[in-house]
Amino acid sequence: MDDATPGTQEYIMLRQDSIQSAELKKKESPFRAKCHEIFCCPLKQVHLKENTEPEEPQLKGIVTKLYSRQGYHLQLQADGTIDGTKEEDSSYTLFNLIPVGLRVVAIQGVQTKLYLAMNSEGYLYTSEHFTPECKFKESVFENYYVTYSSMIYRQQQSGRGWYLGLNKEGEIMKGNHVKKNKPAAHFLPKPLKGNSLVFPTIMK
């Protein structure tokens, strides 16, 4: 448990920096906004005629490995398979953790550019586009491990969350079969570096 503490604390600090950077970009005084409208809008309109694709806001994501308490690194393979591996040097274990809300992240494979997602039956799958099913609530458990639960699906009667999880064989589990207080749901983030990412746009 002590080994888990420094990595998780470092990750939390990086996450807070990302969120604070995003919030600062959102804040703008009325005077500055008015000046921008008067002096910059004509130039912006000319620019849009040349390039019709508007730039999306940049957000700082975190390149991270997710080490499961079951003894595996979470990986997203080239064919879209999600599972665990004991190979520490595999490039498929690298993920971009992108903050998309308060304690909400998108989990994107660095190599594949695919997003992790959970459907209405609790199955994990990969998506080329960022959708509401790609949003995961990030919670730090009492033992300093982190859990990731679907933002839109949970048990209807009990309200219990559906969690990302690996079993003892390193196989991905259905979200509605994973309990937050069990090792299957516990991941230790191992941040490598910050990376400037394009804020994902939700595809319907």
Is the confidence at residue 8, as pLDDT, over 80?
A: no
pTM summary value: 0.71
What secondary structure letter does DSSP report for 199? Answer: P
Place of tokens 């809300």: 101
Three-state secondary structure along 10-32?
Answer: HHHHHHHHHHHHHHHHHCCCHHH
Enumerate the domain spans of the chain.
57-199
- The DSSP call for residue 56 is P
Least confident of 9-23, 27-41, 50-64: 27-41
Going by C-beta distance under 8 Å and a sequence separation of 6 or more, which residues neighbour residue 180?
139, 141, 147, 149, 161, 163
Q: Which fold has domain 57-199?
A: Trefoil (Acidic Fibroblast Growth Factor, subunit A) (2.80.10)
